[in-house]
Structure 1
């Protein structure tokens, strides 16, 4: 892993070690600690790659976008590119880790994952995956990625590792965590809306803007949103804007006025009212919850 100079949320970019080939790296938590050093795992991080952790021993809590997941042996954690994570006591757990760029997995696999359900989880307990096809596929992916090969056949080994890892991700989508309930199949148009929302939430806050962009009516987008999530299209837009606002407030140091501009608000006071209406607290108060011992820039 490698990082750049600090930004609002510290980005961590994929930087394979010397000699590594392809866009998939199999390593371990122990090697990551050595490579990153003692300060690498303290601050929140926004990854530009995916991280798949298999806990083999120990326990801790790993936080992804404000949700803390208690980890025990046999658990899996999948942090996706763009999400904000915070390590717990990384010294207390051991296990293998896959680091891979989104482009390492074929487009068809990502399309299947996006269309399989509304939300892909970040955490699977041991009870959910041990003894399943997902666990067997992960064993195979680890063996494939760890296999040695001559330079002339490295591309074949890398291709095999990519396909094996893709199988793991697809099988994890099928291995629903306990209590998650059945996820309905997702309509293609809703997938388009969700993808466009992820790309444009900083500048488009109205359902009509997305409807015009996709060539469907606002009524259609609202119907599909409710069928797939129970929320209206506007609620989904607000949910995504608020998530990014929370990330920037909790993990960054930019003033609230600058964050408002980054999220497409012309007036900081309008952003503050928007945030308070949807969260029940002001941006400054939300930030203070995460920095009780320091003065928060307003």
Structure 2
């Protein structure tokens, strides 16, 4: 804690074509060096890890995920991650840009549920079609013909991701959305939360009433649309307060608040603490 959030772009090594790289944790450590895994990172690509050996805790947006043999970790572009004892775990890793997977697949993934996890325990995946699809994707990555291999790999990985979504256990919070408009709302929220704080702004953008968005939000999450908007703003604020060095006034301005005082009131009302107190507590921890 206390480090800046370091953006990490997709930069495959020479010889890797396309927008999907299959590597391993061992090769990642050798390529990046120890310092690569110290600071919090905001990924500009997706990372899919299959743990074959070792145990560690990997943190994604303030949630620590205990990893062990057989587990899968999927960190999505834009999330903030922090590596734990990366030197003691081993396994293959797919790195891929969002554009490497076709839009139809992403639409299906987003429509599959509200709360998409980052971590799948080994017992959840073992013996499922998702495990078989991941094995196929790993084998496809080793195919010799570059053009055909890249096309096949994109399709194999897309199939593995879809089947992985289907492997989420019951009771995890995943459930099909009740209306496509809710999926659109979540997409608009992710893109515009720093500048649009009111439900009416999203309703006007999507062509629905604020009442309809609130109803859909409650049906899918138990929260109102305004609560979801505020929740997303708070997540970004927590990321920057915990991992960055920007003053509170700068964070407030970047998140669309006219002054730091209003931001502090907003943050305290929703978290029970001030931005400064939250930053101090997290860094002491």
Shift of 1:147: 2.0
The match for 1:266 is 258
Shift of 1:185: 3.4
2:35 matched to 1:39? Answer: yes
The match for 1:138 is 134
CA contact (8 A) 1:115 1:187 kept: no
Shift of 1:291: 1.5
**Equivalent residue runs for 1:160-171 within 5 Å:** 160-171=152-163
For each residue in 1:117-162, what CA deviation from the matched residue of structure 2 results, as whole angstroms up to 9, or x when unmatched?
112110000010011100000000000012222xxxx111101000
2:79 matched to 1:87? Answer: no
The match for 1:223 is 215
The match for 1:211 is 203
**Equivalent residue runs for 1:41-120 within 5 Å:** 41-120=37-116
Q: 2: CA distance between counterparts of 1:222 and 1:181?
A: 19
Q: 2: CA distance between counterparts of 1:138 and 1:246?
A: 34
The match for 1:25 is 21
Alignment partner of 2:211: what SS?
A: helix
For each residue in 1:242-266, what CA deviation from the matched residue of structure 2 results, as whole angstroms up to 9, or x when unmatched?
0000000001100000000000000
Give ranges in structure 1 of 5+ residues lacking alignment: 1-6, 294-298
For each residue in 1:187-222, what CA deviation from the matched residue of structure 2 results, as whole angstroms up to 9, or x when unmatched?
110111110000100001000111111111000000
2:185 matched to 1:189? Answer: no
CA contact (8 A) 1:116 1:186 kept: no
2:190 matched to 1:198? Answer: yes
CA contact (8 A) 1:118 1:186 kept: no
TM-score (norm 1): 0.93
Give ranges in structure 2 of 5+ residues lacking alignment: none
CA contact (8 A) 1:128 1:178 kept: no
The match for 1:296 is none
**Equivalent residue runs for 1:246-265 within 5 Å:** 246-265=238-257
Larger relative contact order (Cα-Cα within 8 Å, sequence gap ≥ 6): 2
CA contact (8 A) 1:117 1:186 kept: no
CA contact (8 A) 2:114 2:174 kept: no
TM-score (norm 2): 0.97
Q: Which moved more, 1:81-90 or 1:180-189?
A: 180-189
Q: 1: CA distance between counterparts of 2:181 and 2:251?
A: 31
The match for 2:151 is 159
For each residue in 1:34-61, what CA deviation from the matched residue of structure 2 results, as whole angstroms up to 9, or x when unmatched?
0001100000000000000000000000
Shift of 1:290: 2.2
The match for 1:3 is none
Shift of 1:177: 3.7
CA contact (8 A) 2:51 2:67 kept: yes
* Counterparts in 2 of 1:178 and 1:223: CA distance versus 1, 3 Å: closer
